Amino acid sequence: MNCKRYFTGALAAFMVASSAFMTYADGPVANGTDPAGLTSAPGETAGAGNGTTGVTAAETAAPAPASGAQSSGSQTVTVGGNAAASGTVTAGGSSTAGNGTVTAGSSTVAAGSSTVTSGGTTSSGSTVTVGGQTGPAVAVGSGTITVGSGQVAGAAAGPGGVAVPSVIGAGDLSFAGQLTDPIVKVTEKYSYDQMSRDISSLKSRYGSHMQVNTIGNSLDGRSLYEIVIGNQNASKHILIHAGIHAREYMTPLLVMKQSEHLLAFYDSGSYQGRSLSDILSGVAIHIVPMLNPDGITISQFGVSALRSSSLRQTVSQCYAQDQADGRTTQSFDRYQALWKANGRGVDLNQNFPALWDSITTGPSHASYANYKGTSALSEPESQALANLANSRNWSLTISYHSMGNLVYWDFAGNKVAEQSKVLADLVTGISGYRTNGSSGKGGFKDYVQTKDNPIPSLTIEVGSVACPMPASEFGNVWNSNQAILAALAAYAADH
């Protein structure tokens, strides 16, 4: 490579700060592009995500030279990095002090005249133009929100915003300040066991506004919970699920925090001038926070955390076969962390009867990812969700996945395309995410859009770094999705 060319432009500006250069050396590892060693890399990373394609390389494949960097001076970081002062971040990063400019999915944390143009957070004196939030926790200035889901502490909500009391609590993340004593806490690995305890605690604290059901059990004997918030006897019902893909375990954390906030602000919060209690008197929100607890357990803690010895053996067999096929070159530890399937190696979101017979893209054997199973609905987890989907007339349903900051709304043979597109426009207007049609087969969204008695449906792909995502990404995910359930409930109430 020609060195003069190499040192031109933004890269040169970036590299002149030696401290920044040193941290850059570690950047691609920390914010990396996994699963680099997986030769048929699946999932919500580059390539065929979630049984769908269209996640652009920009989110995952680090197209810019300064990808994943941390810098401490007056810096330009182009993808996924952090500029510590007076920085310019163009995607997925944060500028922590000074006159930061962030153009997508990011946050500026401290003082200065900050500008966020898409999906971000600023904590003072700032302007957010799309889908963002001016945060409640620190020295809030005169924030302006022109589109989307923001909130300003102690002030009226912006358009599309949720007004919440400006209670400031501990924590250095903007959302942490909104509840004085949150039950659901952000952790690196939000586990099935923790979630189960949190559901019990929410029930104890907010029992009058919620109901907890079990819609089935996983192969390894874990409960598939359903939380219902709002009027159980309402005429409108909406269905949200998360955690169907194992390594996407930030999505259960997201919907649990969404649930807690709905409950905490049930009697005092509002959405677009309507009280939440009024909205939820006419709509019940059903949330299945973790449809694949076995797979999530594998991804977070490895097979030793499984109860069944035969399932532990299956995972080991998957690894051997995927190695033999060249589907992985990872260590066994990393292979488990990248697990996407259920406890016996079936990708649950390729297991629904939506052109299932014609799925030919995955392996012919159980695997960490992309194996469609022996037949549609062969798995107890996919069966349980299909049964729930067919148990009543739903106004709409949302599937939370990661990653890509994308909303998928269509499928071949979609019987509710128009309604689904309206929902997509609603969600992207709040979140700042992009829309995409769809591709891939066998997904839950695909199924409910094409079945008898079809349901308007979206898949929302949260986050902008590879799965499993670090907890540091949660702030961005939260900012884009905090108001989504209230918005969907209000929409359902009106339609």
Catalytic center residues: 461
Cα separation, 102 vs 120, in Å, equals: 8
Residues between 209 and 248 with contacts to Zn ion, criterion CB under 5 A:
245, 248
Size of the site for Zn ion (CB under 5 A): 4
Query: Which two tokens mark 201?
Result: 């605690």
DSSP H or E stretch at residue 22: helix 18-30
Measured from the CB atom, the residue of 245 and 372 that comes closer to Zn ion is 245
Nearest in space to 439 (alpha carbons), one of 400, 457, 412: 412
Interface mask toward Zn ion for 48-87; x: CB under 5 A: --x-------------------------------------
At residue 216, the 3 state secondary structure works out as: strand
Pairing of strands 82-89, 94-95: parallel
How many other CB atoms are there within 10 angstroms of residue 97's CB atom? 16
Regarding 436 and contact with Zn ion (CB under 5 A), the answer is no
Length of the chain: 495
A 10 A CB-CB count for 321 gives 18
Rounded to an integer, what distance in angstroms lies between the CA atom of residue 202 and that of residue 255? 13
Near Zn ion in 185-204, by CB under 5 A:
none
Nearest distance, CB of residue 98 and Zn ion, angstroms: 37
CB nearer to Zn ion: pick between 248 and 294: 248
Closer to Zn ion by CB, 174 or 420: give it: 420
For residue 362, the one-letter residue type is G
Residue 233: count of CB within 10 angstroms of its CB = 7
Q: Which is nearer to Zn ion, 245 or 261 (CB)?
A: 245
From residue 131, alpha-carbon distances to 149, 305, 439 in Å are 5, 39, 26
The secondary structure of residue 233, as a DSSP letter, is T
**DSSP 3-state assignment of 29?**
helix
Left, alpha or beta for 215 (phi > 0: left; psi -120 to 50: alpha)? Answer: alpha
Site string for Zn ion, 379-418 (x = CB under 5 A): ----------------------x-----------------
Give 209 or 445: the residue with its C-beta nearer to Zn ion. 445
240 vs 388: CA distance, rounded Å: 11
Query: 475: which 2 tokens?
Result: 């702030």
For residue 465, the minimal CB distance to Zn ion (Å) is 14
What strands lie across the sheet with 236-241, from one edge to the other?
Answer: 210-217, 223-230, 283-288, 236-241, 396-402, 457-462, 406-408, 434-436
By beta-carbon proximity to Zn ion, the closer residue of 401 and 441 is 401
Cα–Cα distance for residue pair 287/484, rounded to 1 Å: 13
Cβ-based neighbour number of residue 394 at 10 Å: 21
Collect all residues with Cβ–Cβ distance below 8 Å to 397 and sequence separation of at least 6.
238, 239, 240, 241, 389, 444, 445, 448, 455, 456, 457
Smallest gap, in angstroms, from Cβ of residue 218 to Zn ion?
Answer: 17
Taking the complex as a whole, how short is the minimal distance between the CB of residue 443 and Zn ion, in angstroms?
A: 9
The nearest distance, CB 356 to Zn ion, in angstroms, is: 17
Rounded least distance, CB 408 to Zn ion, Å: 10
CA distances from 206 to 47, 236, 251 (A): 42, 21, 22
**Interface positions, 248-267, toward Zn ion (CB under 5 A):** 248
- How far are the Cα atoms of 81, 119, 142 from residue 475, in angstroms, in the given order? 14, 11, 21
In the bound state with Zn ion, the residue whose beta carbon lies nearer, of 260 and 381, is: 381
Instruction: Tell me which residues in 34-53 interact with Zn ion (CB under 5 A).
Output: 50
Query: Is the preceding peptide bond at 468 cis, omega within 30 degrees of 0?
Result: yes
Q: How far is the CB of 462 from Zn ion (least distance, A)?
A: 10
Least distance to Zn ion, CB of residue 44, Å: 5
Binding site for Zn ion (CB under 5 A): 50, 245, 248, 401
